[in-house]
Amino acid sequence: MTCEIEKAPLAVKVLGVVAILFGVLTLYSGGSTLFIDGKARAAAGNIVGFVLWFNFLIGFAYIRAGVWLVRWQKCGIKLSTAIAGATLLVFALLGILIMNGGAYEQRTVGAMILRSGVWIVIAGYVNYAWRKRAS
């Protein structure tokens, strides 16, 4: 996929850096729980497997979106919007699991609220900034 590079507004660059850092932290925490026996796995409690795997894998997309946003490429806007939508979908699936009596940790709900909120803000702002730039 090719994307034109433009000079990013400062707020978009900041959000891009936030996305990259969020991605690195997501890969670290998810990877520690998935692949390293010990404290991280023991502390995880009632792991919701599909949420954990989704959050780990989407961490790579966080980093990619962040790089594209820092470079102010439209691909970053599209990917940010897709991340926000996919995160909300997984959050809804978690809600269904909870309503059906599935085991979960309250901190998983908190983490999904945080992830959803961060990506709604990022996607919303960068879409707004792109439209504003075009007008």
Domain with 119 in it: 10-134
Question: Is the distance from CB of 112 to CB of 94 less than 8 angstroms?
Answer: yes
Number of structural domains, the chain? 1
Global confidence as pTM = 0.91
Class of residue 41 by CB neighbours under 10 A (exposed 0-12, middle 13-18, buried 19+): middle
Measure the CA–CA gap between 64 and 59, rounded to whole angstroms: 9
Q: What is the mean pLDDT of the chain?
A: 92
**Per-residue pLDDT tens digits for 49-101:** 999 999 999 999 999 999 999 999 999 999 999 999 999 999 999 999 999 99
Indicate whether 3 belongs to any domain: no
Indicate whether 1 belongs to any domain: no
